């Protein structure tokens, strides 16, 4: 089966990065789809945690928000938000956090605060929520975003969530001991930070994607690994499970849920 969309490829590539023994802090939208796809395929024992305090949740449909009743109803337990952040997140008990954003730079720093000048912004975005804490407290961070010149920028208008800062050992210089962004999964490629500079570098192109397509949708000069692989195409099982999940979600909520 080769008929799949760029969004499906992105979601499936993100799901594959998760391990069965991961404790994963899940975001709404694309991260939620990826994490639950992993749970329904190769990682049945993964522990999914949502910001509202639900631990070990196993939703039958994708939640509309962190307050969706589906999360609490299917969780092993639900704790208070302060306990979630202080004991679970800041306590170092979460191995992977999923993040996205309005703007991203080549070092994995994220902006979800404002576009333009902070005091006179062109657009005021939803804000950081728990993302700044997730970015520094999870063992590592996976970022999922669709590539565009608007979103992939040379310089952020505001740094909401720390990635690798200015590159190199800048993250550690700020006293942050966790790994930070270790993978960026987009609709075109998989990127990983250079071991020395920490600049995101393309390590895998999705089927049918060219280097020119990738380079033309980022606001900096894209770097490519010495050996760039091709992302394995989605399997029949992965597509069927993902599409069934979206179909159940659409039926339950009465609208689209292909974020």
Checking if the pLDDT of 211 tops 70, the result is yes
Which of the residues 51, 133, 199, 238 is marked catalytic?
51
Domain count, the chain: 1
Domain that holds residue 175: 6-252
Using CA atoms in the order 86, 92, 93, 99, what is the torsion angle rounded to 10 degrees? Answer: 90
* Residue, of 254 and 248, whose pLDDT is higher: 248
Q: Which residues, in sequence order, are bridge partners of residue 64?
A: none
The three state secondary structure string of 39-79 is HHCCCCCCEEEECCCEECCCCCCCCCCCCCHHHHHHCCEEC
Among 126-135, 211-220, 225-234, the least confident range: 126-135
Q: Can you give the pLDDT at residue 256?
A: 47
Query: What CATH number is attached to the domain comprising 226?
Result: 3.40.1080.10
- Residue 31 CB neighbours (<10 A): 25
Of residues 69, 68, 161, the one with CA closest to residue 107: 161
Interval 96-122: pLDDT, tens = 999 988 999 999 999 999 999 999 999
Q: Can you give the pLDDT at residue 69?
A: 85
**Is 159 domain-assigned?**
yes
- Whether residue 240 lies in the annotated active site: no
**Is 258 domain-assigned?**
no
**Is 257 domain-assigned?**
no
For the chain, percent of residues with pLDDT exceeding 90: 86
Interval 23-53: pLDDT, tens = 999 988 888 999 999 999 999 999 999 988 9
**Is 25 domain-assigned?**
yes
**Is 31 domain-assigned?**
yes
d(CA 65, CA 112): 17
Q: Can you give the pLDDT at residue 186?
A: 97
Checking if the pLDDT of 1 tops 50, the result is no
Answer whether 99's CB lies under 8 Å from 134's CB. Answer: yes
**Is 259 domain-assigned?**
no
Global pTM reads 0.92
Q: Which residues, in sequence order, are bridge partners of residue 185?
A: 144, 190
Interval 162-186: pLDDT, tens = 999 999 999 999 999 999 999 999 9
Interval 20-30: pLDDT, tens = 999 999 988 88
Interval 57-104: pLDDT, tens = 999 999 888 888 889 999 999 999 999 999 999 999 999 999 988 999
């Amino acid at each position: 089966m080769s008929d799949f969309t760029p969004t499906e490829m992105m979601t499936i590539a993100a799901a594959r990065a998760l391990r069965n023994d991961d404790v994963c802090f899940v975001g709404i939208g694309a991260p939620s789809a990826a994490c639950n796809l992993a749970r329904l395929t190769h990682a049945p024992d993964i522990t999914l945690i949502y910001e509202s305090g639900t631990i070990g949740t196993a939703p039958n449909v994708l939640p509309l928000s962190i307050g969706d009743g589906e999360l609490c109803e299917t969780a092993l337990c639900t704790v208070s938000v302060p306990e979630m952040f202080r004991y679970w997140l800041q306590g170092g008990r979460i191995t992977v956090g999923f993040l996205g954003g309005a703007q991203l730079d080549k070092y994995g720093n994220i902006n979800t605060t404002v576009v333009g000048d902070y005091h006179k912004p062109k657009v005021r975005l939803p804000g950081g929520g728990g993302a700044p804490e997730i970015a520094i407290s999870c063992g590592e961070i996976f970022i999922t975003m669709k590539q565009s010149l608007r979103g992939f920028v040379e310089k952020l208008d505001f740094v909401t969530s720390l990635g690798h800062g200015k590159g190199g050992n800048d993250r550690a210089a700020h006293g942050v001991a966790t790994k930070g962004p270790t993978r960026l999964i987009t609709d075109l490629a998989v990127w990983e930070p250079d071991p020395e500079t920490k600049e995101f570098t393309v390590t895998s192109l999705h089927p049918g994607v060219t280097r020119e397509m990738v380079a033309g949708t980022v606001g900096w000069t894209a770097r490519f690994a010495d050996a760039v692989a091709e992302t394995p195409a989605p399997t029949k099982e992965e597509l069927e499970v993902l599409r069934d999940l979206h179909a159940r979600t659409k039926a339950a909520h009465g609208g689209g849920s292909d974020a």
